[in-house]
Every structure is written in structure tokens, then in C-alpha cells.
Amino acid sequence: MTQPPSESCHEDAPGLTRQVTLGQLEKKRSTEEIRKAYLPSNVKILLVAESPPSNGDFFYVKSEMTRYTMVAFEKASGLKFKSIRHFLEYFKDCGCY
């Protein structure tokens, strides 16, 4: 990921230092626990979508919506995320949920 501008919400990037992988979360936690792992301490922007489909896909796990949202954030910010996980940490650090 390229460095965001200094005024970015990601300036300190504390979330990107965690070593927990999404795969580990999937194996050990329920959907709600995974969702809570990405809950920012201060929600600034809340995206509302339908409930998770029965096939197990949802925003924080294997979702096309995540990919499309990441692409929109890349275009708006000029950043390029290394992975969905890095994007989700950035999304959280920006106060998005």
C-alpha cells in the first residue's frame, strides 16, 4: 500500500500491525465476532447492507461488495491496498463500519 497523505485517517496505521489473518478469524469466530473485530472505536461512517447470505459470504469475508468498496476507496484516496485485509484495517481506522 502506498503511504496515505498526512491528513489521512490512517496516519498512525495501528491496525495494520496486527498479525491475525482473516482465515484465522474465519476458523475461530462466528460471523458476528468477525464483524466486531472490525468495529471502530468511533464509527464515523456506517454502511448499511442486507444481512449475510446463507452461503457464508458477507462484507468482512469473501464478498464482492468488499472488493467493490475497496476499489472505490482506492480511486477516491489514490491508495493501492495490498490485500482485502489491509483495506479492511484501513476502513476500520477511518471510522467506517
* Whole-angstrom distance, CA of residue 94 vs CA of residue 3: 15
Domain boundaries, the chain: 14-93
The structure's pTM equals 0.65
Tens digits of residue pLDDT in 33-81: 888 999 999 999 999 877 666 676 788 887 888 999 999 999 999 999 9
- When pLDDT is averaged across residues 17-30 and rounded to a whole number, the result is 57
Q: How many angstroms separate the Cα of 61 from the Cα of each of 51, 65, 89?
A: 13, 10, 13
